Structure 1
Amino acid sequence: MPSDTPPAGRPFTPVDFQLVLLRRMADHNPGLVEDARRELGASPADMRDANKRWQAMVRSPRGRGAASRYRSVLGTPASRSARRIGDLDCEAWRWPLPLWPALRFEVLLAPGGAVWNEWLVRAPGAPAPVLRTLDDLTPWSCTVDEAARAFAPARPLEGSAPTRRGLAFTAPDGEGVRREVVAEFTWGLLQRTAVRG
């Protein structure tokens, strides 16, 4: 049974990091988050503690840079690849996370090592979801890139927090009527959609 009182001074682990991702998702999908938290064997107190410690690391004036922080928590990236964005050569680091075996946590580093982006993406070789209608856009079913490709052209929207993003696009409903949709993502994973008008 998970303890209601997290032990003090323990290292920040990949399980803690997954709890941080879940904490941001709880606003939109508390039921999914509750199930995932239990799968990790963590209590609500563990989740609060992980989030508190993560925020302290992020905000610490003596803290390490974002890239170093991810390596210290998640270890050596499982994969590293070059990525060209516009006229810049970047590097993508990816790690597996047990909660989402078909996804990878990706950190995109700009030249010089600054972190430009951090989110969940589909794992290489993992089958992408079939996204044809609004009914296919269920919570946690797809990533930002997958939705943007399936319902192109999609327009990026600013999120309500640093780890949140939005997309605006049109998609057919179950009757085949095209609807204007806003999709909200947390850490790159779909959380909810809303039909406009």
Structure 2
Amino acid sequence: MDAMPSEKRPAEPFTALHFQLVLLRRMADHNPGLVDDARRELGVSLGGMREANKRWQAMVRSPRGRAAASRYRSVLGAPESRTARRVGDLDCEALLWPLPLWPDLRFEVLLAPNGAVWNEWLVRAPGAEPPSLRTLDDLTPWSCTVDEAARAFAPARPLEGTAPTRWGLLLTAPDGQGRRRRVAAEFTWGLLQRTAVRA
């Protein structure tokens, strides 16, 4: 697939392929090289990625659009699994979907008891081998999720993200010489994008 249909033709269904492009579009701000490689793997042009993101934003902002949980089901199909989860004092339901681009990850949507989406991001797939995170050198782009970095370098402190799909962690990790460094780690859709050493 080289490009998305033009606006003059009927729009094709918005599928998991398009949704992966939406995730990549946001990640391109930090890792354009990785995103270009992934986009080519999907067989989609740069214009195709932009068009997918444009369509997604239109769906999200439409006053007649579906609720967030219904939107994910319509795009990704039935979830691979549904699990009850307690987050603080809140009883949630975690819905997981596989995405071909990241076979060891799942897209997770946490639903509050009233059906509202409480969180949406990439997590490690159940049973998948987690990354080995011991030093700063292991914190490479796309190597780990928010939860994995927070556990590996506990205690980690949340940082305010720069956009709705971005999260940050302030953590302390040893560098290659064994010195401990304070690091700000930035995540997009739950996947590590970059780190910066703090003074």
Partner of 2:5: 6
User: Structure 1 residue 6: deviation in Å?
Assistant: 2.8
How far the C-alpha of 1:87 sits from its partner, in A, is 2.0
- Say if 1:20 and 1:47, in contact at 8 Å, map to a contact too: yes
Which residue is 1:58 aligned to?
A: 60
Give the distance between the partners of 2:5 and 2:154, measured in 1 at CA.
45
The residue that corresponds to 2:35 in the other structure is: 33
What pairs with 1:96-115 in structure 2 (closer than 5 Å)? 96-115=98-117
State the secondary structure of the residue aligned to 2:78.
coil
User: 2:29 aligns to what SS in structure 1?
Assistant: coil
2:45 aligned to 38, 43, 46, which one?
Answer: 43
1:15 matches 2:13: no
For the residue of structure 1 that corresponds to 2:172, the secondary structure is strand
The answer (yes or no) to whether the contact 1:104–1:122 under 8 Å persists in 2 is yes
Structure 2 gaps of 5+ residues are none
Q: How many residues align?
A: 196
Written as runs of structure 1 = structure 2, the 5 A alignment for 1:117-132 is 117-132=119-134
2:160 aligned partner: 158
Number of the residue aligned with 2:96: 94
Letter in 1 for 2:13: P
> After TM superposition, which residue ranges in structure 1, 4 or more long, deviate above 3 angstroms?
none
Secondary structure of 1:130's counterpart equals coil
After TM superposition, the score normalised by the length of structure 2 is 0.97
- Amino acid in the other structure paired with 2:5: P
Which residue identity lines up with residue 2 of structure 1 in the other structure? D
Per-residue CA deviation, residues 51-100 of structure 1 (Å, 9 max, x unaligned), is: 00000000011111100000000000000000011222110000000000
The aligned amino acid for 2:185 is A
Structure-2 separation of matches of 1:41 and 1:116: 32
Query: Does the 8 Å CA contact 1:6/1:45 hold for their aligned counterparts?
Result: no
Whether the 8 Å CA contact 1:155–1:168 is kept in 2: the answer is yes
User: With structure 1 as the length reference, what TM-score do the two structures score?
Assistant: 0.97
Return the offset for 1:152: 0.2
Q: Which amino acid aligns with 2:22?
A: V
Q: After superposition, what is the alpha-carbon deviation per residue over 1:84-136, rounded to whole angstroms, capped at 9, x for unaligned?
A: 11222110000000000000000000011000000000000100000000000
Matched AA of 1:6: P
Query: Equivalent residue of 2:110, what SS?
Result: strand
Alignment partner of 1:179 out of 181, 185, 188: 181
**Contact persistence 1:74–1:95 (CA under 8 A):** yes
Give 1:161's aligned amino acid. A
